[in-house]
Amino acid sequence: MSEPISTQGPTATPGPTTASGPAGPADLRARAAQLDAADALAGLRDRFSLPEGVVYLDGNSLGALPAAVADRTADVVTREWGELLIRSWDESAWWTAPERIGDKLAPLVGAAPGQVVVGDSTSVNLFKALVGAARLAQAARPGRTRMLVDAATFPTDGYIAASAARMTGLTVTPVDPSHAGDAMDADTAVVLLNHVDYRTGRLHDLAGLTAAARAAGAVVVWDLCHSAGALPVGLDEHGVDLAVGCTYKYLNGGPGAPAYLYIADRHQAAFDSPLPGWNGHAEPFAMNPGYVPADGARRGRVGTPDILSMLALESALDAWDGVCVEAVRAKSLALTDFFLACVAEYVPPGRVESVTPVRHAHRGSQVSLRTENAREVMAELIARGVVGDFRAPDVLRFGFTPLYVGFADAERAARTLGHIFG
């Protein structure tokens, strides 16, 4: 549901004012400067290579380049591949990269070591997770027939869910995540939900919906593409069964960076992947004709790891050294609050409408604004150095990555939007 922009919502930051009335551009710029000066995370921007003069608010589609990645990638290509050649599978630890990088990523999604494996795309990992979840559910409670799927999910998730359901004899039932708990019953085998809606930025209740699925005896799979790296997830804390996510958005792993699969420790021995590749075999180099899955999350591996992009991701994750996800979340909310306040001040009334929830408990790390001619408006913003993106038919999306986005960026983006409508 759309929510009109308000600077006086229950948790929104009140719009800046002066003694004589609402704030003007100078006041908002001054406030942005104050907030940036007080920002404990501001120095993290130096860990990224960003074009001069560009406000980059599309990290929810492709994260910025971490500064160390270029040199690390060059070393992988010239030395590890170019000089060591095949020896690097052992000497450069290429072979163990999927689990090693999984353990490095795990704290960002609230997982203990040994439960995350990196590799393949989100779509491939989702297929593994959904079929694996169905097999877990059917083994534990035979006869269940339904797979509940977020009705507003990213299209590929829906395509994969339909295929997984056909393969496992389940029927897909679309559900509004806000009411998914009410839809879970004794016939529900699997539940697939997005932590954050990709179009609106709405944050769904992972803890509550996971508990509801567990109470119903269903196996839950979460898509974390738009939440990992932007806010605390708490997979272990909340008893999530399976989860997938990409690494090229808020985790800044690069275009086409490998995704990840989380298999809770309690499910690993019984997890039956529908893609039993040689890399997930207990003895991959024995070349046995029969498949025996490896122990742990490693059974989620399929084929040869994509080493170049995987090691670029490993370097990119160094940008998180010493960073507290809770602090990132606090800054994200402050940034989006301030951006909404600036939009309300700069943009003429009635020209845009927020489809992103005002309440912090329901907001991810993006702001989506509905407007007429949205495609043309976004093209003009980009031409003026403010990079967001467009989603059909009428949505402007602005992603706020707290590691490198500041309050002056938010103010400039809103001011530029106001100039376009002015």
- 293 preceded by a cis bond (ω within 30 of 0): no
Whole-number CA gyration radius for the chain: 22
**Matching residue, tokens 């509004």:** 176
Catalytic residue among 154, 262, 339, 398: 154
User: How deeply is 348 buried, as exposed, middle or buried, from its count of CB atoms within 10 A (0-12, 13-18, 19+)?
Assistant: exposed
250 is catalytic: no
**Matching residue, tokens 């009140």:** 14
Residue 386 exposure: Cα atoms within 13 Å on the Cβ side? 24
* Nearest Cα to Cα of residue 295 among 16, 104, 91, 99: 99
Whole-number Cα distances in Å, 276 to 114, 222, 347? 19, 22, 54
249 is catalytic: yes
337 is catalytic: no
Catalytic residue among 248, 271, 400, 407: 248
223 is catalytic: yes
| Residue 203 β-bridge partners | 196
Catalytic residue among 47, 144, 249, 331: 249
* Nearest Cα to Cα of residue 225 among 60, 400, 390, 399: 60
Q: How far apart are CA 184 and CA 242, in angstroms?
A: 17
Whole-number Cα distances in Å, 142 to 146, 147, 192, 216, 263? 12, 14, 19, 14, 21
Are 366 and 357 within 8 A, CB to CB?
Answer: no
Which tokens belong to 222? Answer: 């979460």
| Residue 280 β-bridge partners | none
Residue 88 exposure: Cα atoms within 13 Å on the Cβ side? 18
Catalytic residue among 39, 120, 223, 409: 223
The residues that are catalytic are 154, 223, 248-249, 397
